[in-house]
Copies of this chain bind each other. A is one copy, B any other.
């Protein structure tokens, strides 16, 4: 048995590969089989992370396993899908038991956290990279797409912005900070929490949604383009964490929130009448703008002046400050 076959057996034995609701057949055959209840559709998303491009090389394999899966599952949240399963294509230059064990522990933890089962994949030799494909289910017609925003809708997000991008200088070892600042920022970066519950709660309510990966302004641009509307963002309403403000100051924190990316918080558009019941249910929703007729994204200051910067999304960590 070759070492890569050993790895396949290793993953097949992992706790997250022991099946789950909706998994009719897991690892070990030519295909996995998923059951999709009548009236529901299967949601699918694929993400690739390359060493030296999307994450530092070397990096902590536990944290890498945890974060990679969270980033992928966040796309299910953005669609309002209930998570089912994922596949992992892992390419490794060399096989070390320590690395694999730590990676699998991080993966297992996040898989348990998100309720997804590992159902297949491939393990190959080559430069370190990972491709994860995630699967969820959503009632037909209720998936949250990017294309339904209407003038008059509110622009909302599901949590604080900028923490992921703000953490980057800490993650890359370029800056230091006291634990009270560094710990929450690092935690957000390495262990983002896909907003699966919020996504499902928004079914039939939000008119458009996505998860913020490129940066608020760039991602609002995706909604504006797909929905053929304009989106106005009010800078004074950005939800910023104490840790981010302490670390970067007001202006730096705003910059991270607007253009930094890596938030994996949902951004969505909502008819105003839908807001009260969602807030009453306790969902952490921040209103930071609105949808208007027109096109593109406009950033407004507290006086309503247009202060839109050139929009430039997240372009992999090497190119960010």
Contacts and interface: CB of A to CB of B under 8 A. Distances in A.
Interface residue SS majority, chain A:
strand
Interface string A11-48: 00000000000001100111111111010011111111
Number of copies: 2
A87 B72 CA distance: 14
A269 B124 CA distance: 29
A292 interface: no
A122 interface: yes
Contact of A136 (B31, B35, B41): B31
Given A29-B146, A45-B120, A125 B50 contact: yes
A170 interface: no
A79 interface: yes
A143 B32 CA distance: 10
A122 B46 contact: yes
A53 B87 contact: no
B35 A41 contact: yes
B89 A48 contact: yes
B129 A30 contact: no
Contact of A87 (B30, B133, B145): B133
Contact of A122 (B48, B126, B136): B48
